[in-house]
Amino acid sequence: MSSLKSFILNPTGHFDTFGGRYVPELLIPFCDDLHRAFFDCIRDKKFLRELEHLRETFSGRPTPLTFCENLTKHLGGSQIFVKNEGLNHTGAHKINHCIGQVLVARKMGKKRIIAETGAGQHGLATATVCAKFGLECVIYMGRKDYDRQRPNVFWMERLGATVVPVEEGDKSLRDAINVALRDLISDPVDTYYLLGTVCGPHPYPVMNTYFQSVIGREVRSQMEAQAKTLPDCIIASCGGGSNAMGIFHDFLDDKNVSLVAVEAGGKGITEKKNQCDHASRFETGSVGVAEGFKSFFLQNPDGQIKNSHSISAGLDYSGVGPQIAYLKSIGRIETTFALDTEVLEAYELLAQKEGILAALESAHAVAEAIKRAKKMKKHQSLVIHCSGRGEKDLFITAGKLDSENFKKFLKEQSKHE
Ligand SMILES: *Cc1c(COP(=O)(O)O)cnc(C)c1O
């Protein structure tokens, strides 16, 4: 295959040994139907027009590319730009694949959308598009997350979704995924499983990369307009990999553009038995099969998945998308990690120099940019992917950066019922 760009969207869903469709036989017809529907949709001009229309009039695209004059001066190296996906409706890039998938689901005649969510961001974006399209929406959450993420549960319920706490197993995200899959198996005709990143069985990684690739296409034309050149480097945070694939995809064949995915380094690259202090799959993970696809996972030698840790919920995940694993294996992308402490510093620096409150996920990309920009030349340019805005992290950032005042505030609030 001559073009990496088209290989990454290839209709087999295999990327060398990565990817595939490792699901129970009962789910193969669902995957086949989805495959057919997706590839039909993206050949259909009417579908593409509607997608474009929703991006403009509902999501708020194109999102801006902002030159960071102060940060550039402060660091004294390359020119720094931010692609600000945080200005999308619902505050992150996740809406891109939610809009796309809900259009495909409607085309398939589905009546009911299900999803699982950890911190709630994916559930929120899913509930949003279901409200917009008048579809029933059921969101599964591990009981622990359900209790911890009360504000997001509240928002999903306001949007009309049913949020179901999952009581089995560890009551974690993995248990919520299992329950959601069982739901899908019990009703594969009317139900659609809306997946929140570039993971899962084929065609999900290909489909979500396709819907996210609008980000990189916009960056290309915005860089050409603003800087008359392509960037030398693009940096994105990497949980499952959807915001990274979205901004990287259009540049895969531009060999002079280096692409960097930043994983969560958490408290450091150390671990106890089944609990990692990080979510850096490329640091201590290995190749395995879980949740329907083959890729890198944090796992023990028996293939049992280990728990991850990150200050940012969106990166706190033990697996990574198969296309990311493939691009790393052929050396097209670099991977690295940022520690929780570096992330908080980066978050504050971007806020104070540029007036942008980044999501903690995105602040991982900012942290890496701070390290790199200094080493680059003044005529070079670097794009930071700000995948989301930071308001959602209020309880974490306030707890870390202004704990005493915030506790006092919450105590006061709880008095005024
Ligand atoms: C969910 C999320 C991520 C991580 O998911 P990817 O699939 O790796 O993009 C990153 N940034 C934000 C703002 C998120 O909400």
Task: Quick: pLDDT tens for 189-201.
Answer: 999 999 999 999 9
Mean pLDDT for 184-191 is 94
What is the pTM assigned to this prediction?
A: 0.97
Q: Taking CA 199 as the corner, what is the angle to CA 393 and CA 246, rounded to the nearest 5 degrees? A: 70
> Residue 123: phi, psi to the nearest 5?
-60, -40
Kindly indicate the confidence band of residue 384, based on its pLDDT and cuts at 50, 70 and 90. Answer: very high
Ligand 1 midpoint to CA 315 (Å): 7
65-67/162-166 β-pairing: unpaired
Q: What integer is the mean pLDDT of 237-265?
A: 98
Which pLDDT tens digit goes with each residue over 33-62?
999 999 999 999 999 999 999 999 999 999
Fold of 4-57+93-208: Rossmann fold (3.40.50)
Does 203 sit behind a cis peptide bond, omega within 30 degrees of 0 on the bond before it?
yes
Distances (CA, A) of 342 to 78, 244, 338, 366: 20, 20, 6, 9
Q: Which two tokens stand for residue 211?
A: 């819907």
Domains 4-57+93-208 and 62-91+215-398 share a fold: yes
The pLDDT score that the predictor gives to residue 19 is 98
From the candidates 68, 199, 233, 386, give the one annotated as an active-site residue.
Answer: 68
Per-residue model confidence as pLDDT tens digits over 287-339? 999 999 999 999 999 999 999 999 999 999 999 999 999 999 999 999 999 99
The yes-or-no verdict on residue 1 having pLDDT over 80 is no
**C-alpha of 331 from chain center:** 22
Say if ligand 1 is within 6 A of residue 397 CB. Answer: no
How many separate helices (H) and strands (E) can be counted in the chain?
18, 14
Burial letters 120-144, b for 16+ CB under 10 A, else e:
bbbbbbbbbbbeeeebebbbbbbbb
pLDDT at 174: 87
Q: What is the pLDDT of residues 76-88, one digit of tens each?
A: 999 999 999 999 9
Nearest CA to ligand 1 atom 7: 242
Please check the confidence at residue 20 and state whether its pLDDT lies above 60. yes
Compute how many other C-beta atoms are within 10 angstroms of the C-beta atom of residue 33. Answer: 15
| Centroid of ligand 1 to alpha carbon of 361 (angstroms) | 6
Range scoring the smallest mean pLDDT among 124-128, 173-177, 276-280, 375-379 = 173-177
Q: Report the nearest-CA residue for atom 1 of ligand 1.
A: 314
**From the CB of 104, is ligand 1 less than 6 Å away?**
no
Please say if the pLDDT value at position 417 is more than 90: no
Whether residue 19 has its Cβ less than 6 Å from ligand 1: no
**Residue 31 catalytic?**
no
State how far the Cα of 157 lies from the Cα of 385, in Å rounded to an integer: 30
For the chain, give every domain's residue range. 4-57+93-208, 62-91+215-398
Domain 62-91+215-398 has CATH 3.40.50.150: no
Q: What's the whole-number mean pLDDT along residues 147-175?
A: 93
- d(C-alpha 76, C-alpha 328), whole Å: 29
Residue 236 Cβ < 6 Å to ligand 1: no
